[in-house]
Structure 1
């Protein structure tokens, strides 16, 4: 009986001790403020690149038409022919021009003879008039007028001959520059003439392929990162294992109203003729910031239906700040908004973090 009482007393004491311990544990304060990782906002220059489609074309290209209506007498070149500046490419024939030139030259000789006579007559009258009383003033004036009229007729006849000779020169179509013939749309004996009258298509197309133009349309958001002289690389589909270099030579300085982009041109030296006009190229445009901007990791940006924002920690509480995104480079993004350097931002932001959420230091 005595042993039983002692055991009961010990058990009761243990229960009382455990109960007191549990009460003490329940009374201990618990810190439920979440631990959120933050970082200091800093500025840096972000460098990235964007890939855009571009097109190669001949540095100089011209479509050749006939100036006068005529027939093709001789075709001296064909597609792929290499030509030099001034070389005769097509010899045309127009018999009526030869007849017009012969008639104009005949009239010129006639007018020259008339002017020679009137000029000689005036000179004789002028010499005679120096003796007082021999020639009246009226006769001298009439001789001068006849001489001036005949001289005007002579000048007109000469101009007519020159005009026909110029038209006759158009019967020889010459290469305007050194290049290669890339298109031919006529054959010997064909009737040709000015565009829309005898030739809807050009007779020949000549291109200068030793230097090519690489044209790319740069979207509006990237135009501020480019300037004359910037070097970039590009590839073409037929030689994917080879990379070519080019520098910006010309920028249009205005946006195309349809594409909302700026035309940028580069010159590509092509002395080895590896590249062909008309090839589609893939250009890598380097986008280097001129000034430092705020750059954060992509995990710090929250994109919701309400907008794009980052979460700032101010006075140990969260605060959403609306931003606009700039360029992306790997896992980093440019941001623009009401922000200041060295402010603390949440590194792994989420939509669940509402304004005013307490944050541990």
Structure 2
């Protein structure tokens, strides 16, 4: 009985397998047909528009004016009148220096000036007397009169030279008083009273003071070449700093370099920032939001419709019930929109979701036109 049961099962097993094999291809083909009938390629109509976007790039705040102040002549620091953090006005006395040799030179120049002045006055008086006497015929020869005039002119030249020498030494003495070239804040002091100072490299490696104008700052930004054409004078930008992350500041473009930096391939752009409340400091790093408002209308497409392949950048067009890869160049981008440039026309049908699986010149069974 058991043997007959085993034989019966063995006989039916091949039959079951045959039916299973016969049924499988039929079901797969039917499923494939169903899938092909329901698959629809989504497209959109190509139109022009203006893409309003914002780029965020780093910038730096620097002092509107900054100068390192050195001593003009070799000397010793006699007294310092300001220190780090002192607010000074233009022309204010910052430090007094002393140089005994300059005082001696000034005394010598003053003596030479008085001596030359006396010589010149004497020769001038001589010439004037001879000139007055020569008015009586036969009293003074013309040669004596000419020699007296030449002597007067020579002494006058010596007198003028003595005045110039005195002024030179006097100017050097004036350099012993160091004054602020503009109003600002002392941000650095590198010497103390009694220190020997002089011009850079000739007595002083470091400046006596560093002076910065901080009531107005410069916001410096390097704008990449791609975006340099969007920024013009008087355009307004906003920025933030790490010290005040929740407070936005605004500034207007005042200066453009007009050339690209050869290393960064970017244009230097400067904005003036009012800082009378001293909330901002030179050296702060900023995050600058620059609006990019296009002046001309361009083709704007969903970013997902752009195909980035190893052969280049394309957008897929539906033309005569088949696909066509159109090479394009990219412009500005937002989160989901991108400017494109290429051999394109308005109202053409483009595939919304580009993929390399959609080959060039492939037939299209059906499309579903949707809005962007």
- State the TM-score, normalized to the length of structure 2: 0.87
- In structure 2, the partner of 1:314 is 319
1:53 aligns with 2:53: no
Structure 2 Cα separation of the partners of residues 224 and 269 of structure 1: 26
1:125 aligns with 2:130: yes
Structure 2 Cα separation of the partners of residues 65 and 109 of structure 1: 34
Structure 2 Cα separation of the partners of residues 64 and 203 of structure 1: 6
Structure 1: gaps spanning 5 or more residues:
1-25
Structure 1 Cα separation of the partners of residues 267 and 34 of structure 2: 61
Out of 301, 310, 313, the position equivalent to 1:305 is 310
| CA spacing shift, 1:157–1:353, aligned 2, 3 Å | same
Structure 2 Cα separation of the partners of residues 356 and 250 of structure 1: 51
| CA spacing shift, 1:270–1:30, aligned 2, 3 Å | closer
Structure 1 Cα separation of the partners of residues 215 and 189 of structure 2: 20
Q: How many residues align?
A: 334
Structure 1 Cα separation of the partners of residues 68 and 34 of structure 2: 86
- In structure 2, the partner of 1:104 is 109
TM-superposition CA deviations, 1:329-353 (whole Å, max 9, x none): 1210111111111111111221111
| CA spacing shift, 1:241–1:30, aligned 2, 3 Å | closer
- State the TM-score, normalized to the length of structure 1: 0.90
- In structure 2, the partner of 1:192 is 197
What is the CA distance between 1:66 and its match in structure 2? Answer: 0.4
Out of 200, 211, 226, the position equivalent to 1:221 is 226
TM-superposition CA deviations, 1:67-112 (whole Å, max 9, x none): 0000000001100011111110000001111111111111111111
Out of 18, 32, 37, the position equivalent to 2:42 is 37
- In structure 2, the partner of 1:72 is 77
What is the CA distance between 1:32 and its match in structure 2? Answer: 5.8
What is the CA distance between 1:327 and its match in structure 2? Answer: 1.2
What is the CA distance between 1:30 and its match in structure 2? Answer: 10
What is the CA distance between 1:358 and its match in structure 2? Answer: 2.3
TM-superposition CA deviations, 1:238-273 (whole Å, max 9, x none): 111111111111110001111111101111101110
Structure 1 Cα separation of the partners of residues 206 and 233 of structure 2: 37
* Helix, strand or coil at the partner of 1:37: strand
Residue correspondence of structure 1 range 206-217 to structure 2 within 5 A: 206-217=211-222
TM-superposition CA deviations, 1:272-317 (whole Å, max 9, x none): 1010111111111111111111100012111111111011111221
Structure 2 Cα separation of the partners of residues 223 and 31 of structure 1: 50
Structure 2 Cα separation of the partners of residues 91 and 31 of structure 1: 93
- In structure 2, the partner of 1:340 is 345
1:173 aligns with 2:178: yes
- In structure 1, the partner of 2:256 is 251
Structure 1 Cα separation of the partners of residues 35 and 320 of structure 2: 18
